[in-house]
Amino acid sequence: MNRIVNVIEEILKSEFEHTIVVTHGNLLSLLVIKFNKDFGFEDWKNLIYKCVVQLHRL
């Protein structure tokens, strides 16, 4: 989880307005769990093959 979180933190520090990160479901799940503690096993099981998650800067 630390590696993907570090990548996202570096992206957020950049001056790019929009960035696309492409990954597999397990790594995506770890990233979502970092920002949404309610995301669990059932949510992971329900991920579809082409899943899109959008994060926003606060």
Between residues 22 and 57, the one the model is more confident about: 22
pLDDT digits 0-9 by tens, 2-38: 888 898 889 889 988 888 888 887 888 888 888 888 9
The predicted model gives 46-54 an average pLDDT of 79
Q: What is the pLDDT of residue 44?
A: 85
Q: What is the pLDDT of residue 51?
A: 78
Spatial CA neighbour of 33 closest among 7, 56, 4:
4
Q: What is the pLDDT of residue 38?
A: 92
Q: What is the pLDDT of residue 57?
A: 66
